[in-house]
Amino acid sequence: MAMADTVRMLYNSVKEKFKFELKDEQVNIISALLGNRDVTALLPTGYGKSIHSKESFELPHVSVVVSPLISLMKDQQQQLHSWGIKSAISSDEQINVKDIASADVSVIFVTPEALIRNQWRDLLLDSKFQKRLCLLACDEAHCVSEWGENFRPEFRQISTVRSLCDVPLLAITATATDKVRADIIRYLDVKDDAYAIGIIPDRPNITLCVKERCSHDEQQELAWLLEKVKAEDDPRTMCKTVIFCRSYLMVFRVWSWLHKSLGFQTYAGEEQENHSLVEMFTSSSPEKTKDRILAVFSSPDSSIRILVSTVAFGMGVDIRDIKLVLHWGAPRSFLSYWQEVGRAGRDGNEAFAVMYPYRRSMMSSVCDKDFAASIAVDQCLREKTLIALTTCDMKKEDIPQRINCKDNNCIICECDLCRCCSVCFSRCSCSGKLDVIAKMCILKSSV
């Protein structure tokens, strides 16, 4: 019997826990891991990057998952709990290795800072624990690379831990360039016979737009958004929106302008801090404030409808009903652009991403020259981005091609070109095409 058939048979015996079918990519990954091969997996949203939880189907086996964020661990722990899988978290602040060693769990989440401590090294050398350990997984593996957007030097020390345990490694991330992929292989000491899988990270439900000849005046450029908020009878019908800015100062400027311009409308019926329609989120925000904002913003009927943020609102955030992402200023690179665009439409529904690349934001000191140059070229923005993020594990021919409207007389055209990007939109010949800003002005919350 082939390993893939064995995996499917094994999964069928516990499928009631998970309530979904395994994708072929997941079957191939688990097959490789069960065959004691390392795996590098570049899987976009929807491809089950939490697959490590399925490699240790039942006790006494245990998987150790290295993750950069406590919030991300807690989200995954909650998902595992819904499947009936027990897990534990070991952070740098609370290592509690002795408790974890004897814990009745199948998955242990650990920060890279905690993993390299002596207590964890002693645990990995413990013969009883070694018999239980079946997998070492590295989530958000792009953090190992200086070419990535979330470099964490402690990730590079994971390779020293690998020598203490003879188990396969699973390195997972959603998006990466070839340079980032090479760093993952190098610094995590991925074996030569590793199984590598990569899926083109397209997000077809997100329409992309770049504002041409953008000025430096955020109040002028974003006036339509302010008018959209003011026009809402019920604040909860305003679609959830994230505005990414390049600096804390710019976050404060945009937030202050919206807050002041809305006046009493800033508050969802009650002038209290936790009822504000507009919030700001930065790395320097107090932890309690960030936790409150994330908790409120995650709710489908959240009072927060616009979040103005730096890149701090990014990795590990899984708020599924964000419909609009605005970039005030060009992002630093293709990688950061696509990661931030990916905050939208995680529920699979229609979403929009609009970039306002004012001139100073595209200076070579703050923006990669290849990305800055691509913004000015009359070529599909999605295609340019996906080509930049296509690694050697992927096939460029898998990048989807867009087809023009077949009717040319739609009431509101929804053809591939209109739903792709602003460049493709300009090529649609249908009389019913509606530009992105107009579409967003009538976009409502799903509540």
Rounded average pLDDT per 10-residue block, the chain, 447 residues: 76 69 86 92 77 56 88 82 84 64 83 88 88 91 81 87 90 91 94 94 93 92 91 81 95 95 70 77 88 89 93 83 96 93 92 94 92 86 94 89 79 86 88 73 54
Residue range(s) defining the domain that contains residue 342: 206-401
- 230 and 318 share one domain: yes
Q: Residues 275, 156: one domain?
A: no
Which of 180, 198, 216 terminates a domain? The answer is: 198
Residue 438 lies in a domain: no
The answer to whether the CB of 112 falls within 8 A of the CB of 145 is no
C-beta of residue 150 within 8 angstroms of C-beta of residue 32: no
The Cα 184–Cα 190 span in angstroms is 8
Place of tokens 């996906």: 386
Q: Specify whether 53 is located in the same domain as 112.
A: yes
Are 266 and 148 in a shared domain? no
Question: Rounded CA gap, 128 and 202, in Å?
Answer: 44
Is the domain of 161 the same as that of 211? no
pLDDT at position 95: 54
Decide which of 137, 167, 198 is a domain's last residue: 198
Count of Cβ atoms closer than 10 Å to residue 165 Cβ = 17
Q: Where are the beta strands (DSSP E) in 317-417?
A: 324-328, 351-356
Q: Could you tell me the CA-to-CA distances from 304 to 98, 268, 279, 292, 307 in Å, in that order?
A: 41, 8, 7, 11, 7
**pLDDT at residue 283 in the model:** 85
- Residues 214, 68 within the same domain: no
Q: Is residue 407 part of a domain?
A: no
Residue 440 located in a structural domain = no
Short-list 75, 350, 76, CA closest to 240: 350
Note if the pTM is more than 0.75: yes
* Structural domain count of the chain: 2
Looking at the structure, tell me whether residues 161 and 246 fall in a common domain. Answer: no
Q: Which residues contact 98 (CB under 8 A, 6 or more apart)?
A: none
CB 39 within 8 A of CB 170: yes
Is residue 17 located within the same domain as residue 111? yes
Write down the pLDDT at residue 394.
92
Q: Is residue 418 in a domain? A: no
**Packing angle of the helix pair 334-341, 381-388 (nearest 10 deg):** 110
**Judgement on whether residues 224 and 176 belong to the same structural domain of the protein:** no
- In this prediction, residue 379 carries a pLDDT of 86
What pLDDT is stored for residue 447 in this prediction?
41
Triad 289, 309, 439: Cα angle to 5° = 125
Beta bridge partners of 354: 209, 326
Same domain, 189 and 290: no
Distance CA 336, CA 312 (A): 12
Q: Is 313 exposed, middle or buried (0-12, 13-18, 19+ CB in 10 A)?
A: buried
Q: Residue 329 domain-assigned?
A: yes
The answer to the question of residue 442 being in a domain is no
**Same-domain check for residues 245 and 171:** no
Write down which residue in 145, 172, 198 finishes a domain. Answer: 198
Distance from C-alpha of 302 to C-alpha of 323, rounded to nearest angstrom: 14
Taking the C-alpha atoms of residue 178 and residue 439, their distance in angstroms, rounded to an integer, is: 36
Residues 6+ apart with CB under 8 A from 168: 32, 33, 36, 37, 38, 39, 135, 136
Give the pairing type, strands 62-66 and 133-138: parallel
> What strands lie across the sheet with 169-173, from one edge to the other?
87-90, 107-110, 62-66, 133-138, 169-173, 39-42, 195-198
The CATH number of whichever domain residue 15 belongs to comes to 3.40.50.300
Count of residues for the chain? 447
Number of H helices, E strands in the chain: 20, 13
Residue 309 is assigned to a structural domain of this protein: yes
- Would 69 be classed as within a structural domain? yes
What was the pLDDT predicted at 34? 87
Does residue 191 sit in the same domain as residue 213?
no
